[in-house]
């Protein structure tokens, strides 16, 4: 099956540990069978099931990344006030 040159082939791009990026416009069939038309040029569909606005990604898949960054931000650098001192060699 191939599309004619005039037909646009829909493109779906999975994001690692994130949403599916779908080129629009597209019709989305919801679990209850209803259909919504999304006319955005690109839509992000949630694959992690954490979104508060299904079927779209609301970036709720990111907290683990945020927590990692916050941990790095709150860790004092060596020599900075509050940084753990290395023990003196005995
Ligand atoms: S993939 Fe982003 S909230 Fe689920």
Q: Give the pLDDT confidence of 31-72 residue by residue, as tens digits.
A: 999 999 999 999 999 999 999 999 999 999 997 655 566 566
Closest ligand 1 atom to 19 CA: 1
Residue 8 has a pLDDT of 81
pLDDT average, residue stretch 1-7: 65
Q: Spell out which residues line ligand 1, taking CB within 6 angstroms.
A: 18-19, 46-48, 50-51, 57-61
For residue 17, pLDDT beyond 70: yes
The dihedral built from the CA positions of residue 72, 74, 76 and 80, taken in this order, carries a sign that is positive
Is pLDDT of 3 > 70?
no
Name the residue with higher pLDDT: 1 or 11: 11
Ligand 1 centroid vs 47 CA: distance in angstroms?
6
Determine the distance separating the centroid of ligand 1 and the alpha carbon of 1, expressed in angstroms. 32
Residue 2 has pLDDT above 80, yes or no: no
Give the alpha-carbon dihedral of 24, 21, 53, 64, to 10 degrees.
Answer: -170
Contacts of residue 24, defined as CB under 8 A and 6 or more positions apart, other chains included, come to: 38, 39, 40, 41, 42, 43
Q: What is the pTM of this model?
A: 0.66
């Amino acid at each position: 099956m191939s599309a004619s040159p005039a037909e646009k082939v829909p493109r779906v791009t999975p994001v690692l540990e994130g949403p599916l990026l779908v080129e629009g416009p597209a019709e989305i069939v919801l679990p209850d069978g209803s259909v919504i038309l999304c006319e955005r040029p690109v839509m992000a569909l949630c694959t992690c099931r954490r979104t508060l606005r299904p079927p779209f990604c609301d970036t709720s898949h990111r907290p683990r990344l945020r927590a990692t960054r916050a941990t790095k931000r709150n860790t004092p650098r060596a020599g900075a006030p509050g940084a753990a001192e290395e023990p003196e060699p005995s």
